Amino acid sequence: MCGIVGYIGDEQAAPILLNGLTKLEYRGYDSAGIAVFDGSEIRMEKVSGRLQRLKEATDNGKALPGMVGIGHTRWATHGCPSDTNAHPHFNKEHSIIVVHNGIIENFTKLKLHLENRGYQFVSETDTEVLAHLLDYYYKRTRNPLAALTKVMQKVEGSYALGILFRDHPDSIYSARKDSPLIVGQSERGNFIASDVPAILQYTREVFYMENEEIAVLTRDDIKFYNVDEEPVEKTATHIEWDVNAAEKGGYEHFLLKEIYEQPRAIRDTVNPRIKDGQIEIEELQMTDEEIKGIDKIMIVACGSAYHTGVMAKYVFEGMARVPVEVDLASEYRYRDPIFGRNTLVIVVSQSGETADSLAALRESQAHGQKVLGIVNVVGSSIAREADSVMYTWAGPEISVATTKAYSAQLAAFYLLALKFGRVRKTISDSDYEAYISDLQKLPEQMEEILKDRQPIQRFANRYLAAEHIFFIGRGIDYAISLEGSLKLKEISYIHSEAYAAGELKHGTISLIEDGTLVVAVATQEKLYPKTVSNIVEVKTRGAFVMALTNEDNKDIEKVSDFTFYIPKTNRYFAGSLAVLPLQLFAYYVSLGRGLDVDKPRNLAKSVTVE
Ligand code: F6R
């Protein structure tokens, strides 16, 4: 959601900005722009649509010479996607230029205040208010830092900012609050960016900006300040992961590459946390006594991360006998939740920047609750603000639709539930051993499924024109159905719903007609006969059924039209295997419909607004 890149150094800025913005495309955007200081003037180009248009408009950056610049990809919130609403935004004299990620919540009030003082607005955006407000204070102080801190005190909402002042051609000013921003340092110059992949090609030394911090970058130096203009000392983090991790590596799409990286993601998340046959999660920072004392777990997240929570409820309650509540972060933050005497709140997030999840974390802490973050992006806001953080080692996930981070989140939950079950003595020693062995086998079993993706591709090609697809299952199979349905709708744009199989007959079954595709997930032995009955119910109404089960249940072929078998594991982990064919199905439907698999319309990878 909105991407920012800035560069000041020895090289031409525009190609670096365009390259960095390309690396941030995964975040989702609908317009783009760059501004470069050419020595005397700040020149700018901005267009609606894809970055390719900006590259053409600037002759791949050559048309905007200069070694200082800022760039932006915009995901529209205030005002439609258009050339005018694209960033950068500027004051009347084009002497202060701003790119912004976030939302200025009190922009209407500020705009009125500025209009009353003669300022004229050209765009519909909330960001433009920042350019004029900076102008207002700069004209009074003649000091960019003072002007910026004044603006930070006046605005409400979230922001990551990159700013050029024409009077200070040797500096980039930046600041952040509740929207991600990093600062990169290299021999050949310094950078700002929304995320590491944008600058990884140039540097691995990165500073994570904290809320209400300011960075002033020159060619050779980076200075940090707080909102009182006091200097702040920061240490750089060395980024370990490889640049190839953020490239397609021979796959046609990031999504396919990331689906295939899932076995590795599980190994990296699980194996370091199993020592001598015992699960050790040092990051948890909880004694056995504290684990025994937990009377309730609350899992809070959005989208697919929320679906891992729905699954974790079955796993935790089954293995560790702790009651679990699962909430959508956007609901939780306003529902005034009731905490137990010893509640553990778990916030799950790939990006670690999702605004609703971050707000839920803060809401929990404000009520005195300890929060455990399950997070993929190292150094992200949720990782830093949680009381303890358990990283999922999925590596950078670029495709907007999550796959490997989702699977790694499930694996993290399995580890936690097993650890809790062991400590609370709700699973026997032999079961504990068997579960650990199953967990370590999962990557291999995933590889087996991924070996041959053709049957799923062929099946998907038959459903490219479908208008509605239903996913059904019970228990953990319902949790997987939720994820299968979301994957499909977000990248194929086909309407789809996931239903607890037993619930269909309470209304939704009226939508089933001749040829409607129903994907039935039936991995849970105890529930298998029940799900088969539900399959028969939809078949009777003309549905075409794709079933997902394991080899023991060959009789399912009698009631389904296409069956995909997954290897056998225990009931809790079956979802991790069943999700793979569903991800591949969504991928091939999207591909067959000629859609942008990695960057589906209207979506952003990191949802940093409410
Ligand atoms: C779906 C998807 C989203 C995210 C959701 C939460 O494929 O990617 O539903 O799961 O936006 O994002 P994070 O995990 O970054 O908090």
The active-site residue, picked from 23, 419, 599, 605, is 605
Let me know if 302 is a catalytic residue: no
Topology, domain 3-239:
Glutamine Phosphoribosylpyrophosphate, subunit 1, domain 1 (3.60.20)
From start to end of 52-167, where are the E strands? 68-74, 89-90, 96-101, 159-165
Taking CA atoms only, the protein residue closest to ligand 1 atom 4 is 303
From the CA of 304, how far away is ligand 1's center (Å)?
Answer: 5
* Shortest-distance atom of ligand 1 to CA 350: 14
Q: What is the pLDDT of residue 145?
A: 98
Judge: domain 247-451, CATH 3.40.50.10490: yes
Taking CA atoms only, the protein residue closest to ligand 1 atom 9 is 303
The ranges assigned to domains in the chain are: 3-239, 247-451, 452-610
Distance CA 156, CA 159 (A): 9
Distance CA 100, CA 74 (A): 9
Distance CA 583, CA 600 (A): 15
Residues making up the chain, counted from first to last: 610
Tokens 């569903």, located at residue: 582
Topology, domain 452-610:
Rossmann fold (3.40.50)
Taking CA atoms only, the protein residue closest to ligand 1 atom 3 is 303
From the CA of 406, how far away is ligand 1's center (Å)?
Answer: 9
Q: What is the pLDDT of residue 244?
A: 67
Mean pLDDT by 10 residues, the chain (610 residues): 93 97 85 93 93 95 96 89 93 96 93 96 95 98 97 95 96 94 96 93 94 96 97 93 73 94 95 94 94 97 98 98 97 92 97 95 96 93 95 92 98 98 97 98 97 93 95 98 98 97 93 96 96 96 96 94 96 97 98 94 82
* Shortest-distance atom of ligand 1 to CA 305: 10
Q: What is the pLDDT of residue 609?
A: 79
From the CA of 255, how far away is ligand 1's center (Å)?
Answer: 14
Going by their DSSP bridges, the two strands 159-165 and 96-101 should be labelled as antiparallel
* Shortest-distance atom of ligand 1 to CA 351: 15
Which of 354, 491, 590 gets mutated to test ligand 1 (max ligand atoms within 8 A of its CB)? 354
Q: Same fold for the domain at 3-239 and the one at 452-610?
A: no
The active-site residue, picked from 2, 111, 177, 599, is 2
From the CA of 358, how far away is ligand 1's center (Å)?
Answer: 13
Going by their DSSP bridges, the two strands 517-521 and 544-550 should be labelled as parallel
What's the pTM value of the predicted model, to 2 decimals?
A: 0.81
* Shortest-distance atom of ligand 1 to CA 405: 14
Give residues (CB < 6 A) around ligand 1.
302-305, 349-351, 354, 357, 401-402, 486, 490, 606-607
Q: Where are the alpha helices (DSSP H) in 493-557?
A: 528-540
Distance CA 207, CA 238 (A): 9
CB 522 within 8 A of CB 553: yes
Distance CA 39, CA 65 (A): 9
Taking CA atoms only, the protein residue closest to ligand 1 atom 7 is 401
* Shortest-distance atom of ligand 1 to CA 302: 6
Sign of CA dihedral 74, 401, 239, 233: positive
From the CA of 258, how far away is ligand 1's center (Å)?
Answer: 15
From the CA of 610, how far away is ligand 1's center (Å)?
Answer: 13
